[in-house]
Amino acid sequence: METFNDVISGNGLVLVDFFATWCGPCKMMHPVLEQVKATLGDKIRIIKVDVDKHNDTAGRYGIQSVPTLMLFRNGEILYRQSGAMSKSDLMALLDPFLNQ
């Protein structure tokens, strides 16, 4: 079974959405992430981490508010931001990392 560390350590881009089921802004991010995945396809992997079920992982990365988006490649944090955002804002944020 693939672990969180396995996923973020790959050489592809991985966008991690740290969320909680009770969080309103987190629920707003779900369709945005689906749209981004539909647009980018295999250029990015998007995973969701429920902070209540995986508080060890959330704690390791100091997640204090949700949603928090983190972008990884080769286990390295490339970007981190808390709060919901629009598809256009997220696409603009990801764009510089897509061709690296």
- Residues assigned a catalytic role: 23, 26
Starting at the earlier edge strand, list the strands of the sheet with 44-50.
44-50, 13-19, 68-73, 76-82
Report the relative pairing of strands 68-73 and 76-82 from DSSP bridges.
antiparallel
d(CA 71, CA 74): 10
